[in-house]
Structures are given as C-alpha cells and as structure tokens.
C-alpha cells in the first residue's frame, strides 16, 4: 500500500505562514491533483512530501510509515519537475539510468527497467539522443521515464505540462492518464490549470492561501462547489455571480430577488440559509437560457467552435455569460432576454460558504 497521509502539516518562512495546519489522506492508487492559483502553497506542499522543504509542523506518512524525517532518497517518491532537470551532456539512456546507477543497481536490471519505461512512454527510439535533440514533449517523457524506473511508492508531478504548447499539453495529459491506468500507481499532481485537474484527477484538492477549500471528484466540485472561491476557480467560463436578496420561501425553498428586480424561485432549502446576508447567487453559463425573461444587451461574443459564449449586460450593469451553440450567436449590441434555470443555482453567504439544491440533476 502506498497511500499518502498529511497530518496537521504547516510551513512558514519567518513570520509568513504558507501552509496552515493541513490534513489530507490520499488513497493507494489515486490520481490526486492539487489545484489552485499561484502562491496558494500547492508546490510547497509537494516539495515537503518530496523532502526538498522541511516541515514547520505536522507529519507525513506514506504507506503507514512516517517519512518526514527521512532523506529525500529514502522516502519512496519520484518527482517530475516543471523544467525537466535533464543532464544536457548525457544521452536519454544515461539520464534515465542515472538514479539507478547511484544506488548500485546492476547493469542488466537497469537495462530491463529502461526498456520497459521506454516502451511504456514510446521513447525507445530516442534513447541514444541528447536532450538538445528532443522536443519539449519528448524531454518531459524522458523525465517521467526517469521517475518510472525508480518504481516509487508515489509519483509527484510539479506542474510538468506548463512549458508545453497547447496541443502538446493536451496530448501529454492523455498520456499521463493512460500511464496512471497502466501502472495503478499513486500520483500527486500540482497545477493551476483547471482543465488538467478536471481531465486527469480521480480527486481534486482545491487550495487557496495555504488551506484546502474543497476535496472531491471533478464533477462533484464542478456541480456543488463548497465555497465561492471554488465556484469561481472551477469552470470555464467562471460562474456568474449576482447580488441576491432572499424574499421568502415557497414550499420550503428559498426565493431571491436580483438587483434588476427579477425573482428567482430556487431549489435551495430555506432552512439551510443563515438569517442574515448579504448573499450572492451563482449560476453557470449553461444554466442561463435565452428566451422570455430579464432584458440584457449583448456586449461580447466569443466563438469557440462547438460553443459560443455570449457576454451580456443586464439593466443593473452586471455581466452575465451564457452559452449558445457554436453556429448561433446574436450580434454585439442586440437586445435579448435571459432566464436563469432555478434548479441549478447556488447561493453564497457573506463568508463565501455555498448552499445548493438538495440534488442537482
């Protein structure tokens, strides 16, 4: 078993605390993605697991064994860095073999492990080249191969795709997902890119200012964000946020009035809401529907191929983004009407805590 357990982990640099008493369990075989903006502490957390940064407090366990006092090489982890960290004067074969030779692995065993890793990552034809002769994607696969041959308990990835162009980043995401499926290994991946998190993770750990905002499966986090921060960070485009005032309830479900006077009868239990506001209504673009409803004016149109995003200005000056099919879009300046699907709205209180319908279809 190679699960990862973080117990009350903290990290500070002088007076600045960057990780705040964080606890988390990652199961054996999971692909866990730490997601958050720059400076939220996700890379620092990964480096503490790897042994590249000391803890200021707490414990780290792998497979039930405490490892935070061990040297990096004794922790049973392999780390893939953002900048590859390949030796330019060595061939691919020598780079992949380097760590194994340092621990005295026999030559025939090294050759077997390199062949297996090269076959898995489709780099066998590159083994005699040097890094300068490789593309960015090939270099990244070499760095992953170097991690694979160590047969670690846990793979750690520190934003490994951020230096790749968009097309190559997409292909490499798929390769990593396939690799995880083949190896059934525990993988911990750090990124600020929500697409990487949504497409690869079995669970996403959303971080903000050194704390965990929410842990859950990708669609769980998308459909029922725990906080306004999560709702704003997950999803493209970001969730629409509109000031809302509760006006009572109907059959136990809260009703709210928006700034333009529109009333929305939500599916959110009235009893769940605190007594005082202010409150914000959140709704995703796919749940804003053109048709009879509140008046708005088209401000910006983004054509994305299979879908078109329309940015519309409501009468109160707020912006609402909604979806149209890729081959349909109003013209800038057009006057339209929009309706919010009440079954798919969220409410956020003054502290940013989210309230949802009992069940989102």
CA separation, residue 193 to residues 112, 198, 206, 341 (Å): 35, 9, 11, 28
Fold of the CATH domain 240-355: OB fold (Dihydrolipoamide Acetyltransferase, E2P) (2.40.50)
Residue 92 corresponds to which tokens in the numbers above? 């691919």
Three-class SS state of 321: strand
Query: Is 266 within 8 Å of 341 (Cβ atoms)?
Result: no
* β-pair type (4-13, 57-62): antiparallel
Measuring CA to CA, which residue among 148, 160, 177, 174 is closest to residue 31? Answer: 177
The CATH architecture to which 4-224 belongs is: 3-Layer(aba) Sandwich (3.40)
Find the angle CA(178)-CA(183)-CA(184) to the nearest 5 degrees. 95
Three-class SS state of 13: strand
Instruction: Determine the pLDDT at residue 151.
Output: 85
Instruction: Determine the pLDDT at residue 167.
Output: 79
Instruction: Determine the pLDDT at residue 251.
Output: 85
Measuring CA to CA, which residue among 198, 190, 180 is closest to residue 121? Answer: 180
Run of H or E including 144: helix 136-148
In the chain, which segments carry CATH 3.40.50.300? Answer: 4-224
Query: Is 62 within 8 Å of 6 (Cβ atoms)?
Result: no
pLDDT in tens, the chain (361 residues): 589 999 999 999 988 999 999 999 999 999 999 999 999 999 999 999 999 999 999 999 999 999 999 999 899 999 988 777 899 999 999 999 998 888 888 999 999 999 988 888 889 999 999 999 998 888 888 988 898 888 889 999 998 888 777 777 888 888 888 888 888 899 999 999 999 999 999 999 999 999 999 999 999 999 999 999 999 999 989 999 999 999 988 888 999 999 888 899 999 998 888 878 799 999 999 999 988 888 999 999 999 988 999 999 988 888 999 999 888 888 999 999 999 999 999 999 999 999 998 754 3
Measuring CA to CA, which residue among 65, 70, 77 is closest to residue 5? Answer: 65
CB count, 10 Å around CB of 146?
A: 24
Three-class SS state of 218: helix
Instruction: Determine the pLDDT at residue 82.
Output: 79
The length of the chain, given as a count of residues: 361
């Amino acid at each position: 078993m190679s699960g990862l357990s973080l117990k009350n982990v903290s990290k500070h640099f002088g007076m600045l605390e960057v990780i705040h008493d964080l606890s988390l369990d990652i199961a054996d075989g999971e692909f866990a993605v730490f997601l958050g903006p720059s400076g939220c502490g996700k890379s620092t957390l990964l480096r503490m697991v790897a042994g590249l940064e000391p803890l200021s407090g707490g414990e780290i366990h792998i497979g039930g064994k405490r490892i935070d006092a061990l040297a990096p090489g004794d922790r049973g982890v392999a780390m893939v860095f953002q900048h590859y960290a390949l030796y330019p004067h060595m061939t691919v074969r020598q780079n992949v073999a380097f760590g194994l030779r340092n621990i005295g692995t026999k030559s025939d065993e090294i050759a077997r492990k390199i062949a297996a890793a090269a076959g898995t990552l489709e780099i066998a034809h590159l083994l005699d080249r040097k890094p300068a002769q490789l593309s960015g994607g090939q270099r990244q696969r070499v760095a992953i191969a170097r991690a694979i041959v160590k047969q670690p308990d846990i793979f750690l990835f520190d934003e490994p795709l951020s230096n790749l162009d968009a097309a190559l980043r997409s292909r490499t995401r798929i390769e990593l997902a396939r690799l995880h499926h083949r190896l059934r290994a525990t993988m911990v991946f750090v990124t600020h890119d929500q697409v990487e998190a949504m497409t690869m993770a079995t669970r996403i750990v959303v971080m903000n200012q050194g704390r965990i905002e929410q842990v859950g499966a990708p669609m769980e986090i998308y459909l029922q964000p725990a906080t306004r921060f999560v709702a704003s960070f997950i999803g493209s485009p970001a969730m629409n946020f509109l000031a809302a005032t509760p006006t009572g309830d109907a059959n136990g479900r809260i009703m709210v009035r928006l700034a333009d006077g529109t009333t929305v009868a939500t599916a959110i239990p009235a009893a769940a809401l605190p007594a005082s506001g202010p409150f914000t209504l959140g709704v995703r673009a796919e749940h804003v529907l053109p048709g009879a409803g509140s008046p708005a004016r088209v401000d910006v149109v983004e054509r994305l191929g299979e879908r078109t995003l329309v940015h519309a200005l409501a009468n109160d000056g707020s912006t609402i983004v909604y979806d149209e099919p890729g081959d349909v879009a109003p013209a800038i300046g057009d006057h339209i009407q929009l309706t919010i699907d009440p079954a798919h709205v969220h409410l956020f209180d003054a502290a940013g805590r989210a309230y949802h319908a009992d069940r989102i279809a």
